[in-house]
Structure 1
Amino acid sequence: MSTTPPPIPPGAGAAAASSSFLPLDTLFSNPLFAGGLGLASLGYAATLARRVAIRSGALLKRRLLVSLEVSKNDDAYPMLLAWLSLHRPPAGRIATALTRVHDLSMRTARRPLGNGEVATTFLLQPGYGRHVVRFDGAYLAVHRERKASANLNTGEPFETLTLTTLYAHRHIFEALFTEAYALSAKAGEDRTPVLSASGTGWAPFGEARRKRPLGSVILDKGVAERVLGDCVACQGAAEDDSAA
């Protein structure tokens, strides 16, 4: 006696087939898959947060800070280095710790004296790298950098000095350069700069020399008077030309 199998409900085969091919509930219930997906999500979120932080930092830096770059070819470069070398009185324990210069460079200055001797002075300057100084109640970040390229005429490497401060304190740059120029002018009082040909222009040759009294120059009889007379005549001719 044969028995007839019970009829299969419509759609049962399709449901069985769909439940057997890559079931999501089975994947999410797998701890390995769930842990890997969680780590991937955390990594993507960390990368996205890092990009947002970098973009936000660049935007804040562009809006809140102002930078000024001075190259070595500029006349203000040695003035700024001399100004940075000044010893400033302490302005508090925290300010002194922040503005303390740890990297120094040395510059040797030699200048001849009137008696034939040469005076040597060793000047300490802020070295290459980043420093922090305080001026007129504001903090400045100083970055002295040496470039890889060099000047073809002199062979010296290019250098830059970058000053950075808050945009609200941008007015201190003018006061800073004024003080640096006043310091340089005071150091060059009663001195005569010596220039040498450098390419298509003139460049300072060593330190400015102190003026030598005319009476200390030993010349033959009548030579000093003739030289002085020529100088007076030349000056008078220049005044006549300018008046004409």
Structure 2
Amino acid sequence: MGGFGDLLASLQDNPYFGAGFGLVGVTAGLAIARKGLQQSVHVLQRYALTTCEVNSKDKSYQWLLAWIARQSTRAQHVAVSTEFVEDGAGRVTSRFGFHPAPGVHFFRFNGRWFKCDRRREQMDALAGVPYELVTLTTPGRDKSVFIDILAEARDVALADCADKTATYIAYGHEWRPFGHSRPKRPLESVILADGLMERVTEDLHAFVTSGKWYHERGIPYRRGYLFYGPPGTGKSSLIFSLSGLLNYSICVLNVSDPALTDDRLTQLLNTAPKDAVVLLEDIDAAVVSRSAGPLDAVRYDGLTRVTYSGLLNALDGVVSSDARIVMMTTNRVEVLDSALTRPGRVDVRVLIDNASDSQIRRAFNRFYPLNSESTEQFVRHVRSDPNPVSMARIQAHFLLYRDNALQALRHKVL
């Protein structure tokens, strides 16, 4: 033992050994301190901070960015967001807004500080835009504060478009806004045959307020409408005005799209926004009758990879979604197959025909309210031509002579 003690004493007196031992001790101490700091940060994040992540695929993402931009008014690093706004006169102007740019931002809400970290990651190949993520962090463990933030962001966004109808189109496997939102079209601006508007709106109201009734009886909660009739009778205008009545957006799905497949069709119908009408326009131009060949061999217009059975299953099959309204239009209802128009796929069939005398009267009085005494004269003027006339032709005639009812009476409706 004496020999070992002497050896240890000699090493302690050695300056090289003392420096090396001290260096090792400092390194070990720093490593322990670093590990302790990491654990402390982890404990702090786990028990003292609350985090919420919102990715760019979520519908609330743009709402949240716009809301954060209003909160962090002192932010110096911002990204421009150009919007197009339509005024009451129908003119479209550009408006520049600012969103928090990728990076870290801070804001205060309801007396609490929040850290906002916006990150832009890899490119989304399907969407063609970068994948983004916003992370909100705040002290405390109350997650309800994030619900308050998202609810306020939603309310602000919806208030900005309360009087507008947004249109979406299919892009890849998702829905994207198309153009700028347009002002809602009043129901009274669409002049239909007597009682027809009331019939459709009553059915729609009964459907959107009967979700519980459907579920209690095990009935799929979805509704299909088929509007048919000659061109120019107001089918698309009716759908636009009904969407405004429901405060719904419109998702336009082109079934003649050459890139459309059965899987993509099903996914699009199942991922459409909940408060939206899915519109299949001119379905007669895309669907052929089964009499043209075997069911599975039928294609739309010979161009797409969607099968006839794929459409039927997407509309009313095991994988079809609930809480959905589908509206279809056609100029030739007689060419549609009965399998497509049966109840469950088409629940309401509405004929929108050429203009009746009543429609002509109401249209004249709407355009020329100060010349109501000439209403019957105009009806006789239109009926002097034995050929049927559509409401689109009547409206075009009124627009041509918008300031002169006498000129509208003198000239033929083209």
TM-score range, shorter chain: 0.7 to 0.9
Q: C-alpha separation between the residues in 2 aligned to 1:240 and 1:187? A: 29
- 1:57 matched to 2:31: no
Q: C-alpha separation between the residues in 2 aligned to 1:28 and 1:233? A: 104
Quote the residue 1:128 is aligned against. 102
Quote the residue 1:194 is aligned against. 167
Secondary structure at the aligned position of 2:50 is classed as strand
In structure 1, the gaps of 5 or more residues are: 1-14, 89-98, 216-223
TM-score by length of 2: 0.44
Q: C-alpha separation between the residues in 2 aligned to 1:179 and 1:237? A: 34
Q: C-alpha separation between the residues in 1 aligned to 2:169 and 2:58? A: 17
Q: Tell me the CA shift for residue 180 of structure 1.
A: 1.0
Q: Deviations over 1:183-217 (max 9, x none)?
A: 112111211212212334533223322246799xx
CA gap of 1:214–1:169, structure 2 versus 1, over 3 A, is closer
C-alpha root-mean-square deviation of aligned residues, in Å?
Answer: 3.2
Contact 1:145–1:161 (CA under 8 A) maintained in structure 2: yes
Contact 1:138–1:169 (CA under 8 A) maintained in structure 2: no
Paired residues, number? 206
Quote the residue 1:147 is aligned against. 121
Quote the residue 1:171 is aligned against. 144
Larger Rg: 1
The answer to which of 227-236 and 44-53 deviates more is: 227-236
Q: Tell me the CA shift for residue 230 of structure 1.
A: 6.0
Secondary structure at the aligned position of 2:157 is classed as helix
- 1:138 matched to 2:119: no
Q: C-alpha separation between the residues in 2 aligned to 1:176 and 1:188? A: 19
The answer to which of 72-81 and 116-125 deviates more is: 116-125
Q: Deviations over 1:81-107 (max 9, x none)?
A: 11112167xxxxxxxxxx831210001
CA gap of 1:84–1:231, structure 2 versus 1, over 3 A, is farther
- 1:77 matched to 2:61: yes
Q: Deviations over 1:143-184 (max 9, x none)?
A: 111112x32322111111111112344322122122111111
Contact 1:130–1:142 (CA under 8 A) maintained in structure 2: yes
1:30 to 14, 18, 36: 14
Secondary structure at the aligned position of 1:102 is classed as coil
Q: C-alpha separation between the residues in 1 aligned to 2:89 and 2:19? A: 86
- 1:229 matched to 2:199: no
Secondary structure at the aligned position of 2:127 is classed as coil
Contact 2:53–2:135 (CA under 8 A) maintained in structure 1: yes
Contact 1:188–1:208 (CA under 8 A) maintained in structure 2: yes
Secondary structure at the aligned position of 1:153 is classed as coil
1:206 to 179, 184, 204: 179
Contact 1:139–1:165 (CA under 8 A) maintained in structure 2: yes
Q: C-alpha separation between the residues in 2 aligned to 1:200 and 1:62? A: 36
Q: Tell me the CA shift for residue 113 of structure 1.
A: 5.6
| Matched AA of 2:83 | A
Contact 1:111–1:206 (CA under 8 A) maintained in structure 2: no
2:79 to 100, 105, 108: 105
| Matched AA of 2:82 | T
Contact 1:109–1:120 (CA under 8 A) maintained in structure 2: yes
CA gap of 1:183–1:32, structure 2 versus 1, over 3 A, is same
- 1:45 matched to 2:29: yes
Q: C-alpha separation between the residues in 2 aligned to 1:141 and 1:232? A: 57
Contact 2:71–2:107 (CA under 8 A) maintained in structure 1: no
Q: C-alpha separation between the residues in 1 aligned to 2:193 and 2:49? A: 57
Q: C-alpha separation between the residues in 2 aligned to 1:74 and 1:53? A: 35
Q: Tell me the CA shift for residue 111 of structure 1.
A: 4.0
Secondary structure at the aligned position of 2:156 is classed as helix
Quote the residue 1:96 is aligned against. none
TM-score by length of 1: 0.72
Contact 1:66–1:165 (CA under 8 A) maintained in structure 2: yes
Contact 1:109–1:206 (CA under 8 A) maintained in structure 2: no
Q: Tell me the CA shift for residue 29 of structure 1.
A: 0.9
Contact 1:114–1:212 (CA under 8 A) maintained in structure 2: no
Contact 1:131–1:143 (CA under 8 A) maintained in structure 2: yes
Q: Tell me the CA shift for residue 231 of structure 1.
A: 10
Q: Tell me the CA shift for residue 237 of structure 1.
A: 4.0
Contact 1:100–1:132 (CA under 8 A) maintained in structure 2: no
